[in-house]
Chain A
């Protein structure tokens, strides 16, 4: 049997090796504000203690654009979305599994975290990215 390629997440707040892929935030112990990147303190209440929390996988689109100019060549036109997860945390990523067209957007449909392969380095290590997909579609369905 072929050996599975090693995989790394494209950013460190995407966790691949603890059950299904999911996002992990840093939640302020003082006020509950939640962040994705490394933090020193809370921007809301200035508390200095934060705890890692698993974030919900479902959310809703709040804004979008379809980027045509300046899209990386190997990616091509893509849909950028701002998603508010069920706990209120906001995440920017691509909407995947649909053609890159404004008509693909439905603010009323929930979306969920979906992972896909974003690249491979010279050691064969694969970078796994996350996007959001409408429930029932798959990141690899891209039209």
Chain B
């Protein structure tokens, strides 16, 4: 017996505009799906964590009221785009601490009902200038002191990389979206399922240079869940469950170390590099061992810089790597074969579990048309702006 933790059940809903279902319906479908997949029921679960970025307090208890109230401990998790991954890690740490043998992590989000909750506030229309906030602003500063809109923030992350490294321009960023939209054509759970040509992507509406509309993730609704067990419990399970199990070889979370630029503009690079390096060390694997990666491509510019941050390409070589088709599903290290956030969709609270679902499904050899043949090791990565990064390394069961 050791402190290994295993995934024995996982499920996700299709990512869609689910107009006739609410977020509890979605969380229920994913939760019960993961339990069924594990051959378990709620009475088997010792601890639960439920993530959503926008649902109000005690959302997790509302989910319990749909799927089973057994009186177990519950964590409601809220950690920007890393919310789902944080729920998984919360359950995993309970198991590692010896407080539980079996846990359920759920992430869910409904983003298409009503006004998008993440939209930058419009100017307040105040008639008399009065200083407000920690910067004493008298006007809304969007469009005056640069941009805080997500597609613009991540655009600046991309142009910073392009400034520092040769061979990176609009076309390289657009190629990321071309790849992910091509990949999602094979994924029935994806929100978009049609290919976009590079020309179509580059000529689409420019939201914030260099990110055009198809280079930005859509808003969507969805949920995902995993059932985790301790190694001791794993050894008692049915051989068919164990055969399909996936080992969590690393579960790492980082936040921003201090950097002078971080107060003016979020740095998504340093904490990702720190998380990746810790995860590789913890799991005893390197980037060359990875059969697939699901990384946080909220915008095409973000995916490109993370090739470098996760050490998938040569240092400074992200532009050349996409030019050489390294991250395509038939390339050196397939990245976002699900379609990624750009094409599969990005229901925020679900995202950090949906990527674990994707990698686990490949490691089990059950990914259908989009299966990466013989996948043994995979990595998931999410960034929540502010910032927080979570990296999980998953391995196929040896049994």
**Would B138 and A8 count as touching, CB distance under 8 A?**
yes
Q: A65-B208, A89-B260 are known contacts. Are A75 and B144 too (CB-CB below 8 A)? A: yes
A56–B86 Cα distance when bound, in Å, is 41
Chain A residues within 8 Å of chain B by Cβ, number: 49
Give 1 or 0 for each of A4-21: 1 = CB within 8 Å of chain B CB. 000011111100000000
Give 1 or 0 for each of B168-210: 1 = CB within 8 Å of chain A CB. 0000000000000000000000000000000000000111111
- B139 located at the interface, meaning its Cβ lies under 8 Å from any Cβ of chain A in the complex: yes
Residues on B with C-beta less than 8 A from A38 are 134-136
**Would B146 and A37 count as touching, CB distance under 8 A?**
no
Partner of B143, one of A43, A63, A65, A94: A94
- A90 located at the interface, meaning its Cβ lies under 8 Å from any Cβ of chain B in the complex: yes
Q: A11-B141, A90-B264 are known contacts. Are A64 and B127 too (CB-CB below 8 A)? A: no
Q: A37-B135, A38-B135 are known contacts. Are A78 and B143 too (CB-CB below 8 A)? A: yes
Query: Which of B122, B144, B261: most chain A Cβ within 10 A?
Result: B144
Segment of B25-33, B149-157, B226-234 engaged in the interface with chain A: B149-157
A55–B137 Cα distance when bound, in Å, is 19
Chain B residues within 8 Å of chain A by Cβ, number: 44
- A58 located at the interface, meaning its Cβ lies under 8 Å from any Cβ of chain B in the complex: no
A121–B138 Cα distance when bound, in Å, is 10
- A44 located at the interface, meaning its Cβ lies under 8 Å from any Cβ of chain B in the complex: yes
**Would A33 and B258 count as touching, CB distance under 8 A?**
yes
A118–B140 Cα distance when bound, in Å, is 10
**Would B138 and A80 count as touching, CB distance under 8 A?**
no
Partner of B145, one of A11, A33, A44: A11
Q: State the B residues within 8 Å of A (CB).
A: 120, 122-123, 126-129, 131, 134-147, 149, 151-152, 155-157, 159-160, 163, 205-211, 258, 260-261, 263-265
